[in-house]
A and B are shown apart, each in its own frame.
Chain A
Amino acid sequence: MKAGVVVFPGSNCDHDCYHVLKHVIGAETVFLWHKDTDLQGVDLVVFPGGFSYGDYLRCGAIAKFSPIVSEVIKFAENGGHVLGICNGFQVLTESGLLPGALMRNRGLKFKCEYVNLRVDNSDTPYTNMYADGEVIRIPIAHADGNYYIDEEGMKELEENKQIVFRYCDENGTAEDDSNPNGSLGNIAGIINKKGNVLGMMPHPERCAEGVMETRDGYFLFESIAKFIGGCK
């Protein structure tokens, strides 16, 4: 697998994703500058967390007009794998690669903490090393992670098993008490219908090594690396 991490001027988890992909997973990894249009033959594009262009407007709203995003849209339409984390998820919904929208957290504040996630679909390129219903602990860090979609859209997500992660308690129950930001249906991450574009608010790259609080995020990267193949 060759991975590319997109660098917007305000990306700040670009270095973290690069580190995990390259040094922990062992994948050939490059940075993709936002003003460039060459994807350098990567198999996986990662939109990392951060504040793309400052995000003083709606998060990710300017990023969708950048040269690199137009190329990534084409890449995804041709079946290329795209992972959006946090601000990257916001870029994916703003650019139309994923349905729905991410609004201001219901508590109105930035929130950074470990949360429990339930894996609701382990049959994706990104989650094949987890089990359905497994509860994992991965941190969030965002002010705008409150997922919204209209009724029809939600029905479609449910029918196509597109909801991949939900916020839950330690037993896997996804109720309001364990919802950190007000997301509809406790949604933390979704995949597109075709199954090649995943967006999630939590940060798996922050818990992918033994020295961290958990190592639960490692398996997401390992899943996609195995799926695409050719690492290490």
Chain B
Amino acid sequence: MSVYEKFGFPEVTAEAAKGMGLSASEFEGVKKLLGRMPNYIELGVISSMYSEHCSYKSSRMHLAKFPTTAPWVVQGPGENAGIIEVDSEGLCVCFKVESHNHPSFIEPFQGAATGVGGILRDVFTMGARPVAAMNSLRFGKLDKPKNRQIFEGVVAGISHYGNCFGVPTVGGEVYFNSCYDGNPLVNAFALGVVQKENIYLAKAEGLGNPVIYVGAKTGRDGIHGATMASEEFNENSESKRPNVQIGDPFKEKLLLEACLELMKTDYIVGIQDMGAAGLTSSSFEMASKSGSGVRLDLDMVPMREKGMNPYEIMLSESQERMLMVAKKGYEDKVKAIFDKWDLDAVVIGEVTNDGYVRLFWDGEEVAALEAAPLADEAPKYNRPYARGEYMDELQRLPKVDAPSNLQKVLEDLLANETIASKRWVWNQYDHMVRVGTVQLPGSDAAVIRLNESEKGIAISSDCNSRFCLLNPYEGGKAAIAESARNVAVSGARPRAFTNCLNFGNPEKPDIMWQFVSAVEGMAEAAKVLETPAISGNVSLYNETEGKPIYPTPTIVMVGVFDDVTKRIGSYFTSMESAVYLIGENTGYIGGSEYLAAVHGYERGDAPEVDLEREKNIIDFMCDAADKRLVKAAHDVSEGGLAVALCEMCFGGDNVGVNVKLESGIRADALLFGENHGRVILEIDVNNAQVVTALAEKYNLPISKIGRTCSGLIEIANKSEKVISAKVSDLEKIWKNSIGDRMK
């Protein structure tokens, strides 16, 4: 009896392939590619590689539309994370955002925790030390106990992992909408610092070089996780809890320190983290990128439990593991470093040159697959797409009556969980470890100084998914524009972004249309704003019982400061400053939080984004920050002008604002409309002329709308007072809303 036969694997049939997520035509394609029937181990490997999660088979041809190059881009898409240069001396930052939606619904705490763990590994695999983490989170409304439970668990999981690992979680975004009821989104972002000459890539080069397995032992957790992440949810999803991995942040911290110590030496050739599809994707990707081959002795892999077989080992998604290729003869030196950190480091194979990944057990070959075709030539679909017929109805803006009490509306919006302060969330994250956080959470962008120098970066995560539902093209543009605007408003120059494209089932033409339109909108905005995509991921099949989430292409934009002391905060800093508005109030309320929360309509075409205007705002803000002309700045987004003004008063110093508008727009639309291209500025009165002239230089409309004052928020239009409240009263509503709901 051969070794393979001893495992007693089931027979390979079309049915078995389907159980692993391969369609009938894909199964036929596999047989044709191999020229034979795969065995059971091979089938498992192939189905993982062909999963939507690993192969991007529905999205690849559209992702090619993103701009991906610029003089400052060092590494674009295709590696574990992208890299841009921060200064002329080779200081670089490496970053990526990735989804962990499906695991987080099934098991919120571990799902979110391992999402953080995975993205941190993606960053330090490149040789970069993680210095900042962020999250984009989406949940159903908090009045449902199930949503509160998921929210609580996800935040606790992120807190658990990030805090122990020692990376500051410096900000992010949290949205609540009933479209996420059965399908929360957890998109984890991490950013690390690396010198250009110290970047590591996933390579398996040098015939005979040892392949070394490092980190935690392999268990049966997460088997076929990548396949699970490529399916819709149904009532049986909870039974997939064993597919969710368990995270150990302490182990990951050890792995980080050991890897970075090793990377200072010249002992290794390449390194790859074992993320989705574990040993399968790491070994195939390394072999295919280098055009080499790999032999793995799977019985040498450190195992957590007895009786595991090659199939399970190849597909396990146990966390905190890395695969690396060392130089021959340096095995003991590599091991000594891992010994110091009490971690396993075991030679499990070697680099070959026949283009194959060959798997052995007890010295006998149990599977052999050619690496390149599987890694690079996975199925690629041009899925049909068409605008849904329901779009006409959705885009029709309903007529609504103006509420009689606008102050009550403002209070309701400030208490609305999407708008309310996220203090309850970020209080649970260590956001200051590594002494780099020079802008505490709550502002438009997080600001980090790098290596204790004056160099710094600003990060903002944004996506208004309601806009993307109502008009995916404009919504996609808006996600890029808003994230870039937020970075610029903090004083930094937006340089590049990473994205996480969360959509429903791409096999439905209307969903595919959302995807294609959003990607095209984002690509257009990215071109105009000169911010290429450098990394990202796609999460499809975000549906439960056939109900899709709103299209949610999360953008995380990164900007650069030459001098981080020139950063601009979002809170008013002092009394008797002048308050200016850049841009114009159009009074358009389609897709607004106001229309949804107060009138119950998630309707109307999304507001249009004027990309030339947005580019000018970015240039203006960078120029003004460089000249230190702005005391505070905040962009106008959810909740419109009135909410933005209030938020600027909530810095804790009881500075209020007195605003006088002269507009013919109906008061509710004026206060709460969400048209783009607007920024509120706090300016020292002595700088008013200079700032006005600067805005004109960039062709931006600018108007004085009021001044800061002590303790009151007052807004009047054409001498009619519409809002008059104490800062402390409104701040209390805004600040406590989420915490109170979670008691």
Contact = CB atoms under 8 A, between A and B. Distances in A.
Partners in one complex: yes
B250 interface: yes
B432 A110 contact: no
Interface string B264-283: 00000000000000000000
Nearest to B251: A54
B427 A50 contact: no
A139 B433 CA distance: 10
Given A9-B341, A16-B434, A206-B435, A113 B164 contact: no
B339 to A, nearest CB: 11
A211 B428 contact: no
Contacts of B253: 9-10, 12, 51
Interface in B429-464: 429-435, 438, 440, 449, 452
A56 B250 contact: yes
B254 interface: yes
Contact of A211 (B342, B433, B449): B449
A110 B166 contact: no
Interface in A1-38: 9-10, 12-13, 15-16, 19-20, 23
Interface in A34-52: 49-51
Contacts of A9: 250, 253-254, 257, 341-342
Contacts of B435: 16, 19-20, 205-206, 209, 212
A66 B428 CA distance: 29
A219 interface: no
A108 to B, nearest CB: 10
* Interface-centre pick from A12, A15, A112 (highest chain B CB count, 10 A): A112
Interface string A163-201: 000000000000000000000000000000000000000
A112 B438 contact: no
A141 interface: yes
Interface string A137-170: 0010101000000000000000000000000000
Contacts of B249: 51, 54
A75 interface: no
B565 interface: yes
B342 A141 contact: no
A170 B165 CA distance: 32
Nearest to A213: B440
B74 to A, nearest CB: 25
Interface in B243-263: 248-251, 253-254, 257
Contacts of B250: 9-10, 51, 53-56
Contacts of B430: 110, 112, 141
Contacts of A55: 164, 250
Given A9-B341, A12-B253, A51-B164, A110 B438 contact: no
A175 B452 CA distance: 37
Interface residues of A, number: 31
Nearest to A205: B435
Contacts of B251: 54
Nearest to A49: B433
A106 interface: no
A112 B427 contact: yes
B163 interface: yes
A56 B715 CA distance: 52
A118 interface: no
A212 B213 CA distance: 41
A109 interface: yes
Interface residues of B, number: 32
Contact of B452 (A10, A19, A49, A53): A19
Interface string B448-486: 010010000000000000000000000000000000000
B159 interface: yes
B164 A54 contact: yes
B342 A139 contact: no
B564 interface: yes
Interface in B381-430: 426-430
Contacts of A109: 156, 159, 427-428
A81 interface: no
Contacts of B156: 109
Contact of B565 (A10, A15, A211, A213): A211
Given A211-B438, A212-B438, A112 B431 contact: yes
A35 to B, nearest CB: 8
B254 A113 contact: no
B224 to A, nearest CB: 28
Interface string B142-179: 00000000000000100110011110000000000000
Interface string A208-223: 0101110000000000
Nearest to B456: A211
Nearest to A35: B340
A111 interface: yes
A211 B564 contact: yes
Interface string A56-95: 1000000000000000000000000000000000000000
Contacts of A15: 434
A229 B428 CA distance: 38
A152 to B, nearest CB: 34
A8 B253 CA distance: 11
Contacts of B565: 211
A139 B426 CA distance: 13
Contacts of B426: 112
Contacts of A20: 435
Contacts of B429: 110, 112
A10 B164 contact: yes
Contact of A12 (B160, B433, B440): B433
Contacts of A212: 435, 438
Contacts of B427: 109, 111-113
A53 B342 CA distance: 11
A10 B431 CA distance: 17
Contact of A141 (B160, B257, B433, B449): B433
A13 B434 CA distance: 7
Contacts of B440: 213
Contacts of B163: 51, 110, 141, 143
B564 A12 contact: no
Nearest to B155: A109
Contacts of B564: 211
Nearest to A211: B438
Contacts of A112: 426-432
Nearest to B341: A9
A22 to B, nearest CB: 10
Nearest to B423: A113
A223 to B, nearest CB: 19
Nearest to A210: B565
Interface of B: 156, 159-160, 163-166, 248-251, 253-254, 257, 341-342, 426-435, 438, 440, 449, 452, 564-565
22 contacts: A9-B250, A9-B341, A10-B164, A10-B250, A10-B254, A12-B166, A12-B433, A15-B434, A19-B435, A20-B435, A54-B248, A56-B250, A109-B159, A109-B428, A110-B160, A110-B428, A112-B426, A112-B429, A141-B433, A206-B433, A211-B449, A211-B564
Interface of A: 9-10, 12-13, 15-16, 19-20, 23, 49-51, 53-56, 109-113, 139, 141, 143, 203, 205-206, 209, 211-213
Given A110-B428, A141-B430, A141-B433, 14 more contacts: A12-B166, A12-B433, A13-B433, A15-B434, A16-B434, A23-B452, A54-B250, A55-B250, A110-B159, A112-B426, A112-B428, A211-B565, A212-B435, A213-B440
Query: Which 4 pairs show the lowest CB-CB distances between chains A and B?
Result: A12-B166, A54-B250, A141-B430, A16-B435
